[in-house]
Amino acid sequence: MTKILTEKEAEDFLEKENFPIVKRKIAKNKKEILSYAKEIGFPVVLKNPSLLHKTEKNAIKTNITEKNIENALKELEKTKPSTILIQKQIQGSEILIGLKKDPSFGHVIAFGLGGIYSEILKDVSFRICPITKKDAAAMIKEIKGYQLLKGARGKKPVNIKLIENILIKISNLAKKYPNIKELDINPFMVNEKHAKIVDARIIFD
């Protein structure tokens, strides 16, 4: 029987497996939203957690401050959310990491630049699991966007070691949970010091 974990459920699952997850909380009303936003500190991200492809459906609001949160909530209400997911805004490069069970090869891991352009650019590298540290390093260098991760146009280079580590952890997760049919992390935000998962989805067989 197929089981699909929502974004919050997927993030909770990954957090229990010691993956780095952004600070987040589900809120039911405006009072809870404002309270938690002040607790974790602005800027924050607001989402309708029940929808996939949030950007296309205008179901995600980024760079929300105390000044514009009221307007952002009004816009988000148009997507008819039952709850709101609040996250700490993370600065960095957007990375895509995926896992898919192939009928012939078993689990295959994917890596590329993430965010809203991932499906358009299709700049992705693949390996059959399990992978080694050498494999992870090669996957990162294979994509055309590697130069952006190294630092371009004055931007600081991201911490490549943190990306390598999470690729290996995802590969090991496939071994621990062979019933994972699909796993999508997009984006995994990485800067020169830190890395956090800010959106995830998992499908189990």
Instruction: Per residue of the chain (205 residues), give pLDDT as tens.
Output: 899 998 999 999 999 999 999 999 999 999 999 999 999 999 999 999 888 778 888 999 999 999 999 999 999 999 999 999 999 999 999 999 999 999 999 999 999 999 766 777 789 999 999 999 999 999 999 999 999 999 877 789 999 999 999 999 999 999 999 999 999 999 999 999 999 999 999 999 9
Cα separation, 202 vs 10, whole angstroms: 6
Q: Do residues 58 and 77 lie in contact, with contact meaning Cβ atoms separated by under 8 Å?
A: no
Are the C-beta atoms of residues 57 and 76 closer than 8 Å to each other? Answer: no
**What's the predicted TM-score (pTM) here?**
0.91
Bridge partners, 112 (sequence order): 96, 124
Question: Are residues 27 and 103 both part of a single domain?
Answer: no
Last residue of a domain, one of 34, 54, 88: 88
d(CA 160, CA 95): 11
**110 within a domain of the structure (yes/no):** yes
What is the structure's pLDDT at 88?
96
Q: Are residues 78 and 172 in the same domain?
A: no
Instruction: Give domain status of residue 13, yes or no.
Output: no
The verdict on residue 12 lying in a domain is no
If asked whether residues 119 and 178 sit together in one domain, one would say yes
In the block, residue with structure tokens 């700049």: 123
pLDDT of residue 56: 82
Task: Using the 3D structure, point to which of 88, 118, 137 is the last residue of a domain.
Answer: 88
Domain containing 79 — which CATH number? 3.30.1490.20
Domain end, chosen from 38, 53, 88, is at: 88
> Is 67 a domain residue?
yes
- Give the count of beta carbons closer than 10 Å to the beta carbon of residue 16: 9
Is there a single domain that holds both residue 173 and residue 98?
yes
- Quick check: is 118 in a domain? yes
Other C-beta atoms closer than 10 Å to the C-beta of 88 total 19
Q: How far apart are the first and last CA of the chain?
A: 6
Q: Tell me which residue range forms the domain holding 66.
A: 23-88
Q: Total structural domains in the chain?
A: 2
Does 191 lie in the same domain as 96? yes
Identify residue 99 by its one-letter amino acid code.
L
Residue-wise pLDDT for 114-172, tens only, equals 976 677 778 999 999 999 999 999 999 999 999 999 987 778 999 999 999 999 999 99
**pLDDT at site 200:** 95
Residues 33 and 120 in one domain: no
Asked if residue 99 and residue 188 are part of one domain, the reply reads yes
Residue 15 in any domain: the answer is no
Cα–Cα distance, 126 to 13 (Å, whole number): 24
Q: Left, alpha or beta for 21 (phi > 0: left; psi -120 to 50: alpha)?
A: beta
* CA R_g for the chain: 17
Helix (H), strand (E), coil (C) string for 174-188: HHHCCCEEEEEEEEE
State the pLDDT at residue 153: 74
